[in-house]
Amino acid sequence: MSNNPRDFFENIVKPSYDAWLADPLTEWKAKAATSNADTMAERVFRYWNNKDLSQIAGARTPRQYRTHLRQNVCADFGLVWDVHDGYKHMTRNRDNRQITNAWQTGVAKMGYGQGGCGEGVFGGGDQIVIEL
């Protein structure tokens, strides 16, 4: 496999995401897709490090690059990072985390008033939930 991030996206990230979309209540598929998306950030960093730092916002470490993504590109990337770390390590104590434990994610129901407007399954059915 090439070390090009585009190839990793097309061959690993996108298929795992598509597999989860086709089966959205299978927790391992959701976490695999999330883990692959976070791994993509590491691969982008490794690909551009020592080539063109402007492509990775001048970051010197994968953590700095992930922090840049979370703070400046997409705040939800922080959840991708946290879910992957929680899934991999069970418990996290990184200072900028939103999730501490692996068991804060899973299949559950959300009731009226939980989550934001327009989020979640209509009628409160099962869905993948992240408990912050």
pLDDT, one tens digit per residue, over 39-64 is: 999 999 999 998 999 999 999 999 99
Non-local (6+) Cβ contacts of 19 within 8 A are 29, 32, 33
- pLDDT at res. 61: 96
Q: What is the residue range of 12's domain?
A: 5-130
Q: Which of 18-27, 79-88, 92-101 has the lowest mean pLDDT?
A: 92-101
Query: How far is Cα 8 from Cα 1, in angstroms, rounded to an integer?
Result: 8
Question: For the chain, how many structural domains are there in total?
Answer: 1
State both tokens at 51: 């080539």
**Residue owning tokens 């692959």:** 36
Query: How far is Cα 102 from Cα 53, in angstroms, rounded to an integer?
Result: 33
**CB neighbours of residue 7 within 10 Å:** 12
Query: How far is Cα 64 from Cα 58, in angstroms, rounded to an integer?
Result: 9
Grade residue 127 by pLDDT with cuts at 50, 70 and 90.
confident
Per-residue pLDDT for 89 more than 60? no
- pLDDT at res. 44: 97
